[in-house]
Amino acid sequence: MSEDAATYKRRAAERAVDLVASGMVVGLGSGSTTLYAVHRIGDLLRTGELTDILGVPTSEATAAEARRLRIPLTTLEEHPSIDVTIDGADEVAPNFDLIKGGGGALLREKIVAQASGREIIVVDESKLSPRLGTKWAVPVEVIPFGWIQEKEFLASLGADVRLRDGDGGTLFVTDQGNWILDANFGPIDDPATLAARMAERAAIVEHGLFLGLATDVIVAGPRGVRELGRSDR
């Protein structure tokens, strides 16, 4: 990551933390951009500028970092309604539809997003896109049993599909023990129809099309930090 890209991500994430208030239940997203927000929350708790925060992490990696920073954690069982979630995205369309899951945490990220009163997405300008699929493949989480049928199904819809590799030549395995198919459809004309088609498949646990879930998008770049309205650029 270039120094500029890292700086932009940090600025966007820290702006999002300005929207967190003491006493909130906060969804803690996954990925490099969101990590800056987690660190900022930890700093504010340590100095006493924030108090009584409870975090709901979207991945085991985020949970481990939050514990290291002494951010108190809770679960959806204990707090089924989340005040605000701060998360990143791989691609953001003008209507705030997203592709997420580049880090493989899309299932928990979507569960937390659906439980959140406010879903704040933080990105650098490179993630903005005129149409989903222009820059990023759609991650599709599948159970290992029957995965090959889902690969063939996605290919029948026009995607170039690859089973995601992990470190050291092993397969990537999600926190739920599933695999990821990265389905490159190119620019997607009708994300809602595609999402519905994938939802019909038994072995597809979840997909990385996050439609209608983001309430805010904060983007940072050479022009500074901006809070977008829908269709702004």
Please list the active-site residues: 109
CA–CA distance, 227 with 141 (Å, rounded to integer): 30
On whether the CB atoms of residues 122 and 12 are closer than 8 A, the answer is yes
Residues 6+ apart with CB under 8 A from 21: 50
Structure tokens at 113: 């997003």
| Residues 55, 18: Cα–Cα separation, whole Å | 16
Residue 168 burial (CB < 10 Å; 0-12/13-18/19+)? exposed
Burial 218-229 (b: 16+ CB within 10 A, else e): bbbbeeebbebe
